[in-house]
Amino acid sequence: MTTEKTKVESKKLSQKEYETKIHALAKEGLTAEKIGQKLRDEGTHPAEYKGKISKILGKNYVSPDLKNVEAKLEKIKVHYETNKQDKRAKREKDRVFAQLRKVKKYLGLIVKKKK
């Protein structure tokens, strides 16, 4: 059983076209890692262009870790609102909220105030 990858022939994009393509894929909700993967599948290798995808996105860049933890917290909150008697869900909500705070602090989104 052999699998052959077919090479996609594509013309070389200019740096400007490359950046607009990255922003378009980001608007679809893809993370920087998924954008790079999709571009490679289309035959455009990100290493051929200047700048990392996350740097090109700039303020629009969302860390996949942050995105996943926020989604998890939202699901737990919805569950806990409908099931107030679920004490384990309450504890899990608090735990995931702390995890979210740690990720934000690590990414520099929360700056601790000095006294």
**Which residues neighbour 70 within 8 Å (Cβ) at sequence distance 6 or greater?**
100
Other C-beta atoms closer than 10 Å to the C-beta of 5 total 6
**Which residues neighbour 109 within 8 Å (Cβ) at sequence distance 6 or greater?**
66
Q: Is residue 29 part of a domain?
A: yes
Tell me if 15 sits within 8 A of 50, measured CB to CB.
yes
Give the pLDDT score at 8: 53
Q: Is residue 99 part of a domain?
A: yes
Q: Is residue 8 part of a domain?
A: no
Q: Is residue 102 part of a domain?
A: yes
Per the structure, the count of domains in the chain is: 2
Query: Which band of pLDDT confidence, cut at 50, 70 and 90, is reported for residue 107?
Result: confident
Query: Which band of pLDDT confidence, cut at 50, 70 and 90, is reported for residue 82?
Result: very high
**Which residues neighbour 101 within 8 Å (Cβ) at sequence distance 6 or greater?**
110
Q: Is residue 88 part of a domain?
A: yes
3-state helix vs strand vs coil in the chain, percent to 5: 65, 0, 35
**Which residues neighbour 60 within 8 Å (Cβ) at sequence distance 6 or greater?**
23, 26
Tell me if 25 sits within 8 A of 35, measured CB to CB.
yes
Give the pLDDT score at 110: 77
Report yes or no on whether pTM surpasses 0.75. no
Average pLDDT over residues 71-84: 96
Q: Can you give the residue range of the structural domain that contains 41?
A: 15-60
Judgement on whether residues 24 and 42 belong to the same structural domain of the protein:
yes
Is the pLDDT assigned to residue 3 strictly greater than 80?
no
Quick one: 35 exposed, middle or buried, by C-beta within 10 A (0-12, 13-18, 19+)?
buried
